[in-house]
Amino acid sequence: MPRFSIEFQQAHDIDWFAQQGSICIHAMSFGGALPKAVNDRDLNTKILIAAYSIEPYIDDVTINDGYVNERLKSQDDSRSMEERRERYLRHFKEMAQRGFWSFDRDLNDEKRYHLIARPTNDNGILYCHLPKMPRLGEECYKPEGDDLILDFNEEKG
């Protein structure tokens, strides 16, 4: 199965997808190494395209304000906080409106992801629109709050 090379992973912000229980996960890699279970180039691209074919249909989305504000405050940017927040949330919010729990990679730790946005009421995604998603299984667990810690070996080559 064709995989994303480590060089490609490091230079790109890859939207990756997985399923954990009944939750559909969308996450942004921001140059970090992908979990082995999701590093399938063709499948991931198929899911991405299928996800975009779903019109954002959920109005009520919950944002992890505490983490988002803390993250943006730590960055040196002259734009207003409101402007930066709106821009930062755009993609995650859209994915949550499509039914995904949307995560972003930690700024320092490439194995830690933070929940950014999710549907407030777990309406369930329109599974029929999506190819079968990889399961993170034991690679992923939730030791605290909204964080997702990934325990995986970096892909080589």
Partner 1 sequence: MAQQNYLFDGKANLDKQVEAYSEEVYDYFDYERASAKLPRFGKYYYPAMVISCCDKDRKYSMNSFARNPVTYAYKLTKMGDEMKCVFHLPSGFGLKALKDNSFERFSIGQCAEQHATNEMLYNIKKKERDYYDQFDVRNDVFFSKAIRPATGEVKTYCKNCKALFDL
| Pairing mode, strands 101-105 and 61-63 | unpaired
Residue among 87 and 142 whose Cβ is closer to partner 1: 87
3-state secondary structure string across 73-125: HCCCCCCCHHHHHHHHHHHHHHHHHCCCEEEEECCCCCCEEEEEEEECCCCCC
> In angstroms, what is the minimal distance from the CB of 138 to partner 1?
25
At closest approach, how far in Å is the CB of 133 from partner 1?
Answer: 15
Q: How far is the CB of 109 from partner 1 (least distance, A)?
A: 12
Could you give the C-alpha distances from 123 to 22, 38, 44, in angstroms and in order?
11, 24, 23
- Contact positions vs partner 1 (CB under 8 A): 2, 7-8, 10-15, 28, 30-31, 41-42, 45-46, 48-49, 52-53, 72, 75-78, 84, 87-88, 90-91, 104
Residue 72 or 149 with smaller CB distance to partner 1: 72
Q: Which residue number, 129 or 141, has a Cβ lying nearer to partner 1?
A: 129
Q: In angstroms, what is the minimal distance from the CB of 114 to partner 1?
A: 12
Q: Of 46 and 135, which has the nearer Cβ to partner 1?
A: 46
State the Cα–Cα distance between residues 116 and 147, nearest whole angstrom: 10
- The tokens of 2 are what? 């064709």
* Two structure tokens written together for 77: 């940017």
